[in-house]
Amino acid sequence: MIKSLLKLIRWPNLLMVAFSMWLVYEFLLVKLLGNQSVHYGMTTWQLVLLILSAITIAAGGYIINDIVDIPADRINKPGKNQVDAGLTIKTAKVWYWIFTFTGLSTGIFLAFYIHKPFYLLIPVLTAGLLWFYAKDYQCQPLWGNLVIAILSAVSFGLVFLVQLIILDQNGFKVSNPASILMVLSVSIIYIGFAFFTSWLREIVKDIEDVKGDEKTGCQTLPVVYGVKAAKITATIINGIALLGSFSVQWFFYEKNMFLSFFYFFLIDFIFGWVIVRLQFATEKKDFHNLSTWIKILMVAGILSMILIPYNF
């Protein structure tokens, strides 16, 4: 059961989310704002609560998604859906509520811990969106993909938002005001990166699963408008993201951040490789491989945060 549950909640993905949020805190916020920001900013426990809330709500989202996807997964990936293969639907629903309740209660506790009740709207809205995504949005052309892309970007923005709230509450004054602008600029870069790569991967996954979605009546982009239209859409999103990557490189160059500037040639290459392979993809396995390449792209982008403080 434990093995099936770990597969169901995609534990490597959750670890990556937690790792990404820690990188945002450690390599963007602390390093760019200075070590004194640690004293005035989030405590270790507040950071842990923030990460715990994010990953448990995400785990609940994976579970409810797989519960709803049972009919399509029997066609698209037989034996892979753990609700169908390793856990009963009843057990999966129990775990959905355990993870979601944990994420919501942790987020609500954090909201009052930092004296910002409005923050509790974020975990509530996130859990709600994941529920509606599984039940409705994922079978709507583009909108379902956009929901996941937005939620992926939110995990980067959360750490930035909460840290600035706490710094402001504690009267933290930046010795160099330009560093706040730098933190904001770099945070936007990674929020945008998470958004576009997630959006791209969701569309590619929809193309991969088009046969099962057709048979179960799920109205995704490739089902409604055809695989060709979905490939064109994915190519456009990839092209916009690649142009964004060039712009980011120019930003790094102007700021004399040469380590990041040269590293982003790797990001450019993977974006370009995905565009090329997308044009020749025809079979399910081709789109599965593309989805893997986009995941590699995500990991490469996340790891690039480690270089940010070493540019100065």
Q: What are the pLDDT digits (tens) for 234-258? A: 999 999 999 999 999 999 999 999 9
- What pLDDT sits at residue 154? 83
H or E segment to which residue 117 belongs? none
Q: Quick check: 1 pLDDT over 70?
A: no
What is the C-alpha separation between 271 and 105, in angstroms, rounded?
A: 39
Residues listed for the chain: 312
Report the 3 state secondary structure along 281-308.
CCCHHHHHHHHHHHHHHHHHHHHHHHHH
- What pLDDT sits at residue 73? 66
What is the C-alpha separation between 133 and 57, in angstroms, rounded?
A: 13
Which has the minimum average pLDDT: 38-42, 62-66, 74-78, 252-256?
74-78
Q: Quick check: 138 pLDDT over 70?
A: no
Q: How many helices (H) and strands (E) does the chain have?
A: 16, 0
- What pLDDT sits at residue 253? 95
Average pLDDT on 46-53 reads 92
What is the C-alpha separation between 41 and 86, in angstroms, rounded?
A: 43
Greater confidence, 136 or 251? Answer: 251
- What pLDDT sits at residue 67? 82
DSSP letter string over 131-195?
HHHHHTGGGSTTHHHHHHHHHHHHHHHHHHHHHHHHHHHTT---SSTHHHHHHHHHHHHHHHHHH
Query: pLDDT band for position 218 (50/70/90)?
Result: confident
Greater confidence, 309 or 137? Answer: 309
Q: Which structure tokens are listed for 112?
A: 């009052």
Greater confidence, 68 or 111? Answer: 111
Average pLDDT on 114-127 reads 82
Residue 171, by phi and psi: left (phi above 0), alpha (psi -120 to 50) or beta? left
Model's pTM, two decimal places? 0.89
Axis crossing angle, helix 178-208 with helix 143-169, rounded to the nearest 10: 160
- Say how many domains are in the chain: 1
> Pick from 114, 109, 135, 138: which is nearest to 124 by CA?
109
Q: Which structure tokens are listed for 191?
A: 């929020």
- What pLDDT sits at residue 247? 96
Domain around 111: 2-311
Greater confidence, 82 or 267? Answer: 267
250 φ, ψ (degrees, to nearest 5): -65, -40
What is the C-alpha separation between 38 and 111, in angstroms, rounded?
A: 19
What is the C-alpha separation between 177 and 175, in angstroms, rounded?
A: 6
Quick check: 252 and 264 in contact, CB under 8 A?
yes
Q: Quick check: 152 pLDDT over 80?
A: yes
Query: pLDDT band for position 298 (50/70/90)?
Result: very high
Using the structure block, give the residue that is written with the tokens 């797989």: 66
- What pLDDT sits at residue 84? 64
pLDDT, the chain, mean? 86
Average pLDDT on 111-123 reads 81
Who contacts 18 (Cβ-Cβ below 8 Å, separation ≥6)? Answer: 51, 54, 55
Give the Å distances, CA to CA, from 140 to 17, 74, 136, 225.
26, 20, 7, 11
- What pLDDT sits at residue 165? 84
- What pLDDT sits at residue 146? 82
Average pLDDT on 14-35 reads 87
